[in-house]
Amino acid sequence: MPTIYVTNRSGKKYTLKAENGLTLMEPLREIDDSIEALCGGMCSCASCHIFISPEWFEKVPGPQSDEVELLEGTETYRSAESRLACQVKVTDAMEGMTLIVAPEE
């Protein structure tokens, strides 16, 4: 159960204890002014867009092509930081990771 440091859309910082095996979507949707996750994790809405800090981005298993396609269609896509929270599984390797919730589109 890693501790993950999150900055929401208003710039407020949160410390999350995320449960292993869930995706980042589940804990993130519980905080204020955060992801909407409108499709419920089906990789079809991009409303769970987050920016994982570059030093952590490389350590997280990479995205599938359908995730990349969806991300590339967002206005704020950053190739070295953007992920869909619903496609990132929580593991202990994420202890101390920092991420920012992407702006609403």
> Which of 2, 5, 31, 39 touches ligand FES by CB under 6 A?
39
Smallest distance, Å, CB 87 to ligand FES? 7
For residues 92 and 77, give the distance between their C-alpha atoms in angstroms, rounded to a whole number.
27
| Closest CA relative to residue 105, chosen from 66, 71, 69 | 71
**Could you give the string, one character per residue 75-104, with x where binding to ligand FES holds by CB under 6 A and - elsewhere?**
---------x-x------------------
Taking CB positions, which residue lies at the least distance from ligand FES?
86
Contact (CB, 8 A) for 29 and 4: no
